[in-house]
Amino acid sequence: MHYVHGYSDRETTRLADQATTLEELLLSDTGYPSGSCVLEAGCGVGAQTLPLARRNPGATITAVDLSAVSLELARRRVLDAGLTGVAFRQADLRQLPYPDEIFDHVFVCFVLEHVDDVERVLQELRRVSRPGGSITVIEGDHGSFLFHPRTHASLHAWNCLVQAQAALGGDSLIGRRLFPLLRDAGFRVSTVSPRVLYADARTPEMLDAFARKIITAMVEGIRDIVLRNGLSDPGRFDEGLADLRCLASSPDSTLSYVFFKAVASR
Amino acid sequence: MHYVHGYSDRETTRLADQATTLEELLLSDTGYPSGSCVLEAGCGVGAQTLPLARRNPGATITAVDLSAVSLELARRRVLDAGLTGVAFRQADLRQLPYPDEIFDHVFVCFVLEHVDDVERVLQELRRVSRPGGSITVIEGDHGSFLFHPRTHASLHAWNCLVQAQAALGGDSLIGRRLFPLLRDAGFRVSTVSPRVLYADARTPEMLDAFARKIITAMVEGIRDIVLRNGLSDPGRFDEGLADLRCLASSPDSTLSYVFFKAVASR
C-alpha cells in the first residue's frame, strides 16, 4: 500500500492541523465506555489517536499502522501529551496479529480511502471485532469539495488529487460508499452521517486552515506523483495550486467539504 | 426569465414531493414572530408556501411569483389546506410593486438558481426589507450531488442539468456563492448552514423519494431543453436517465446532496 500524501515533516504538520480543525465536527459524538478495548486501525502519525485518547481516558486503545516511522511519531505525540492507555503496534490491516473477536470497538479514520483492497481490510476488522461490538468509519469524499471562486486551473489541480489517489489504488470518493462496503463485510450499519465543513471570509482563521492547511497542502503534497504519472504538467499544475492558495485569503472565498461517518455493529 | 423545470402537472407533483421530503431538513429552524410581515419571493406552485404558512400561523405572508399559472396553483393549494394569512401577487422579482422597507422578513427558496440577474434581485429584496429585518435564502448546489453506483451515462445526464440551467441564464451551483452574493447586495450575513440530504437502502422510501421523485424527475424534466440545445443526443441522455432511475431501487445505492441555507440581516 502506498500512502498518497507521503511521510514528510510538512505532511505530519498538515495532519495535526487538520485534526484540530475537524475534531469537534467528527469526534464529538464518539465516546467509548471505561474499560473497553478499542482498536484504531491505521493510526498514521497519531492525528486522531491523540483526541481519541484524550476523549476516552478510561478506554484501552490499541493503535496499529503499517509504517514504523509514523507509529514512532504517533507514540511520541501521545507521550508528550501525557496520555497513557495507548498501545502501539506495527501491523498490516489485511492481516492483523490478533485472535478473533478481541476488540470491543474499532475506529478507522481517513484510512480506507488509501487502501487498495478495502473489502479485505473490512473483513479483517470484522474478524477481530467482538460480536455486538461496533465499528466507526470516517472518510472524506473528494467529489464533495465545493469552492468559490473556481478557475479551470484550480479545478484541474484538485482533480489531479483524485486521479493520483486512484493511480495508487485508493479511492478518494469512498465516503459515499461506506454503506455498501460495511454491509458487504458483514456489519449491520446503524448510521451514516454526513458532516459538512464550511468556511468563508467571516471566519478568516477557519478559512485559512481549510484552504491552506488542508486543501492546498494536500494538493501540494501530491505534486511529484502527479507529474511522475503524467497527470499534469508543471506549469498547469502550479497555476492551479496558486489559485487554490488564493482561496485562503480572498474576501469572496467559500469552501465546503462533506465527511461521512458511519457506525455499524458486528 | 425561463424556469428550467417548466410548468407541467408532473413538475407540480415533483415540487410537492420534494417539499415534503425536505421540509424538516430545511424549514424546521425558520420561525417568524406573530404579527410579522413576510415576503416569499418566487413562491412558484407553493411548495414552500404551504409549510411556511402552516408553521407560522401568526405571520402575514405575501407570496409573489412571475407566473400567473403557478400563483393560481399555489393559491388553490393553500386554500385547500385551510390556511389563511397568505396573500398572492404576480410580480417580477427585479421590480417589486412595493414601497421601500415594508417587509420584516424575506424568504427565498430554490429561486435564485434560476434567475439570470441575481444581484439585481437581491438588491430589490433589500430595498423592500425593513432595516433590522432578515432575509433567508435556501439554494441547492448541483455540484454537491454524490451518488453510487455511478456510470458514465448517469454522470453525463446529471451534468446536462447543470449545463441546461446555465444555458437559460441560471446557476445550479449557486449554493456555494450565497455568502458573497448576500454581502455584496448589502446584507450582513449571520449564518450559512449547509444541510445534507442522504439516503441509502436502509430507508427505501427516502431513497425512492430522493432518487426518483427529486433527481430523476428533475433530469427527465429538462430532456427537451437538453436536446434542443444540443447538449446530448437522445440515446446517450436516455441511457443516463435509465441509470439514474436504477438508483431508486438498487440495494447498493447511496445519494447525498448539500443545500445551503443563509440567514442575513438588512
Locate all alpha helices (DSSP H) within A96-216, ordered by sequence.
118-127, 152-167, 178-184, 204-208
Best CA proximity match to A222, nearest among A158, A144, A170, A171 = A158
Residue A20 pLDDT:
63
Given a cut of 70, whether residue B1 has pLDDT beyond it is: no
Residue A22 pLDDT:
83
Given a cut of 80, whether residue B162 has pLDDT beyond it is: yes
B200 to A194: CB separation less than 8 angstroms, yes or no: no
Given a cut of 60, whether residue B79 has pLDDT beyond it is: yes
Q: Which residue of B has its CA nearest to A251?
A: B180
Find the CB nearest A148 among B177, B193, B258: B177
Best CA proximity match to B252, nearest among A190, A193, A179 = A179
Residue A134 pLDDT:
98
Best CA proximity match to A181, nearest among A256, A128, A125, A258 = A125
| Mean pLDDT calculated for residue range B76-85 | 93
B254 to A179: CB separation less than 8 angstroms, yes or no: yes
CA atoms within 13 Å, Cβ hemisphere of A161: 25
A189 to B196: CB separation less than 8 angstroms, yes or no: no
Residue A145 pLDDT:
98
All residues at 6 or more sequence positions from A82 whose CB lies less than 8 Å from its CB, including other chains = none
CA distance A90 to A96: 9
CA distance B122 to B135: 10
Any A CB within 8 A of B124 CB: no
Any B CB within 8 A of A198 CB: yes
Any A CB within 8 A of B258 CB: yes
Find the CB nearest A256 among B147, B251, B258: B258
Calculate the average pLDDT of chain B. Answer: 93
- B189 forms bridges with which residues in the sheet? B264
Give residue A121's Cα distance to chain centre: 16
pLDDT along chain A (266 residues), means of 10: 64 58 89 97 96 95 97 96 95 98 98 95 98 97 97 97 91 97 98 96 92 93 94 97 96 98 97
Per CB-CB distance under 8 Å, the chain A contacts of B265 are none
- From the CA of B200, how many Å to the nearest CA of chain A? 7
Residue B55 pLDDT:
94
Residue A14 pLDDT:
56
C-alpha cell at B213: 421523485
Are A60 and A83 spatial neighbours (Cβ–Cβ below 8 Å)?
Answer: no
Instruction: Give per-residue pLDDT as tens, B30-51.
Output: 999 999 999 999 999 999 999 9
Instruction: Give per-residue pLDDT as tens, B97-139.
Output: 999 999 999 999 999 999 999 999 999 999 999 999 999 999 9
Per CB-CB distance under 8 Å, the chain A contacts of B201 are 179
Q: Which residue has the cell 429552524?
A: B29
- From the CA of A125, how many Å to the nearest CA of chain B? 21
* The amino acid at A197: L
**Phi–psi pair at A234, nearest 5 degrees:** -55, -40
CA atoms within 13 Å, Cβ hemisphere of B25: 19
% of chain B with per-residue pLDDT over 90: 87
| Mean pLDDT calculated for residue range B239-248 | 97
Pairing outcome for strands B103-109 and B37-41? parallel
Residue B61 pLDDT:
97
Q: What is the ipTM of this complex?
A: 0.91
Given a cut of 60, whether residue B14 has pLDDT beyond it is: no
Given a cut of 60, whether residue B54 has pLDDT beyond it is: yes
Q: Which residue of A has its CA nearest to B145?
A: A144
